[in-house]
Amino acid sequence: MSVLERKESQNKKNLDLTPDMYRVFISYLKSSSGILLGDSKQYLVKNRLSTLLRGSEYSSLSDLILALQKGSASSMLKAAVLDVMTTNETFWFRDKGHFEILKKRIFPEKGRSIKVWSAACSSGQEPYSISLYFDEYLREAGSAGQQNLQILATDISEKIVADARSAIYSNMSLSRGVSEEFKGQYFKQYRDDWTLNNTVKSRVRFQTFNLLDRFDSLGRFDVIFIRNVLIYFPDETKRNILERMVKALNPGGVLFLSSTESLPVEFDLLEPVREVGGRYYQLKS
């Protein structure tokens, strides 16, 4: 098949997304990732899946969706679907008060070794922000700050994890939260972009991970960040994830939700702690 014929074949692909096929897809997405889409996202799904369809072996969106449902789609296509359907909107020091709480309250109270899990880390700004604030804490604490920090950063998207691991960011990305002082202190120019310094970067280990999977292999943590992601899950899945995260916390461990989120009703395994700059949740003793 010539290049022209291939293009014509791709252009003839059926991009229609019927209500029935949309329901099949949102059921698949929920079962595979926990993400629950409402009835109003049909246009978004159609646009994002159409991009994948054009480069696939399938002739229609219906064929692609049915292959996903039946489990006959390749692992590469499944990963690509999660990549396009996962929201990866983030910026540096989001909910800045949380990082101030880390520096002023959490880091000083923990022992020599601190373990943090940044769940649904997207393109890396959250775990790197934690590491940057740990650097600031050590600098201000001086000789009293004889501690080390290990951060596990996970996301369901293989592509976004690979991007985050590189620690290379554009000027536009850095403009969303990074001051000129921090930029000069912690970043250096890399071609047209900027790369984070090795000390800050070395504290973070990235891993592709689905929050529906068991947490046993991840270990235990002193701090868990799970911000701006539980809103995409149905209530029963949200509660289940939080219950399992509680079990992954060390004694006295803490959990951060975003400033606009709260624990489910009657979820009493954690107690809220209010500080200047924000709120976090601590494991009950």
Report the 10 Å Cβ neighbour count for 269: 15
- Residues 26-70 have pLDDT tens digits of 999 999 888 888 888 899 899 989 988 888 889 999 999 999 999
Residue written as token pair 């969303």: 176
**One-letter amino acid identity for 159?**
K
Number of domain units in the chain: 2
Out of 62, 85, 108, a domain closes at: 85
Q: Which are the contacts of 272, defined by CB distance < 8 A and separation ≥ 6?
A: 263, 279, 280, 281
Same domain flag for 107 and 10? no
Out of 85, 120, 141, a domain closes at: 85
Same domain flag for 59 and 116? no
Q: Which are the contacts of 200, defined by CB distance < 8 A and separation ≥ 6?
A: 128, 131, 132, 135, 186
Are residues 159 and 83 in contact, defined by beta-carbon separation less than 8 angstroms? yes
Residue 38 maps to which CATH number?
Answer: 1.10.155
How many residues appear in the chain?
285
CA distance 152 to 146: 20
pTM assigned to the model? 0.86
Domain assignment present for 260: yes
Same domain flag for 131 and 253? yes
- Residues 131-165 have pLDDT tens digits of 999 999 998 887 555 789 999 999 999 999 999 99
Domain assignment present for 90: no
Residue 202 maps to which CATH number?
Answer: 3.40.50.150
- Residues 99-113 have pLDDT tens digits of 999 999 999 998 889
